Amino acid sequence: MGHQSSSAASVWSRDGDGICKGPLVQAALVFIVCASFLASRAGAQAQNPAELSSQGRAALQDQQFGRAEKIYEQVVKLDPRSAEAHSNLGFALYMTGSYTHAIAQFRKALELDPHLDRTQALLALSYFDSGDFERAVPLLEKAYQTRKDDPVVVAHLGLAYLRQNKDDKALAMLTHWAELEPNSPDALYFKGKASVYVASDSFDQLSKAAPDSYRMFQLRAEMLRQQGMTPAAISEYKKAIAQKPDAAGLHYALGTVYREAGRLDEALAEFKAELKISPNDAMTDYLIGDVYLQQNKLDEAQQYLAQALQLQPGLAEAQLDLAKTYHGQGKTDEALQLLHSVVASDPSRQDAHYLLFGIYKDRGEMDEARKELRIFEELKRNTSDREQKMLRLDSAD
């Protein structure tokens, strides 16, 4: 894919998506400008390089990059051997989007002083923003060795890998960016994009390397299921199972499709087949118990739900189902104990509060029943309000 140069205001992913440069540039500013430095402002006609440099630093501090450029052009004429002056001129040019000229100044600064790490990082960013990823990547990789927790370096290296179709490397780097800035929409977006590319690449390789393998049938089944094409998904899962009947996860997946479709006997058979392959899987035990509960077979449901909670004591769905079986068997004390455990872990569980309401009502404990009903209605109202807000936001788009 051909390189695509960015504007002064954005950096680019592989297919040209831009992210705002603002926060990255503010972070990059510390490469050149010391925040604690308060330069004195000499007269505009001063010809002393030190005085001009003072003015230039002040202009950079004030983000007056055009003015800083003019000042540092005078400085490098007066003192052409100053690596700092060339570097600062390069930074001013970089910030105004003059990447080619910025690169020339950064290279000159590094010729004069090869140990300017910040200048090397800025040279890498200049190559990146001019679309020259072949030159940007080695410099970014070098910068990353000493700046592993710098989101500017990490983000640009990850995005450069993405543009070079190095999707595995990009995903690792963009995941690290998302760890450094967990609330950044850009970091999360590009991490997701890289994940899609990696998955797509793997599936393409799978279709070429093993087009008739059970994994290919499984992949087709999952895609069909996501599209709501249940009969076709079931057919593909059956082909996968016919080829590899002892593969962990296949019977479980087919069982969940049957369960969603209300075909409970078929779901039960698949879940039990899965349990023979993976006997210590709490979710499979839970789903068997849930199917039995839907069939009103309370003793069988209790057996499998209890087993699920032995394997995974905090499995809330199994706790709720087991509470329902206890309620159905008249064991309301046991049911209440389980439900209180659920709401202690997650007070926002509407279903748990509603079950508590029903049990307390059946026991004639009306004060407790009304309390749980109020909590349930408040949680439901809050959920409805959030949904309405999201609906209004979607409509506004």
Query: Residue 346: left if φ>0, alpha if ψ -120 to 50, beta else—which one?
Result: beta
At the topology level of CATH, where does 10-205 sit?
A: 1.25.40
pLDDT attached to residue 386: 60
Phi, psi of 83 (to 5 degrees): -65, -40
Three-state SS across 343-386? HHHCCCCHHHHHHHHHHHHHCCCHHHHHHHHHHHHHHHHHHHHH
Tell me the H-state helices in the chain.
Answer: 22-32, 49-61, 65-78, 83-95, 99-112, 117-129, 133-146, 151-163, 167-180, 185-209, 214-226, 230-243, 250-260, 264-277, 282-294, 298-311, 316-328, 332-345, 350-362, 366-396
CA distance 317 to 323: 10
Q: Which of 354, 355, 358 is nearest to 380 (CA)?
A: 354
pLDDT attached to residue 47: 66
pLDDT beneath 50: ranges in the chain: 1-46, 393-397
pLDDT attached to residue 126: 92
Characterize 147-166 residue by residue with b for buried, 16 or more Cβ atoms within 10 angstroms of its Cβ, and e for exposed: beebbbbbbbbbbbbbbbeb
184 in Cβ contact with 177 (< 8 Å): yes
With tokens 């940007």, the residue in question is 136
Structure tokens at 35: 């925040």
pLDDT attached to residue 330: 94
pLDDT tens-place string over residues 154-170: 999 999 999 998 999 99
Neighbours of 19 (CB within 10 A): 21
Residues 6+ apart with CB under 8 A from 211: none
Residues in the chain: 397
pLDDT tens-place string over residues 355-366: 999 999 999 999
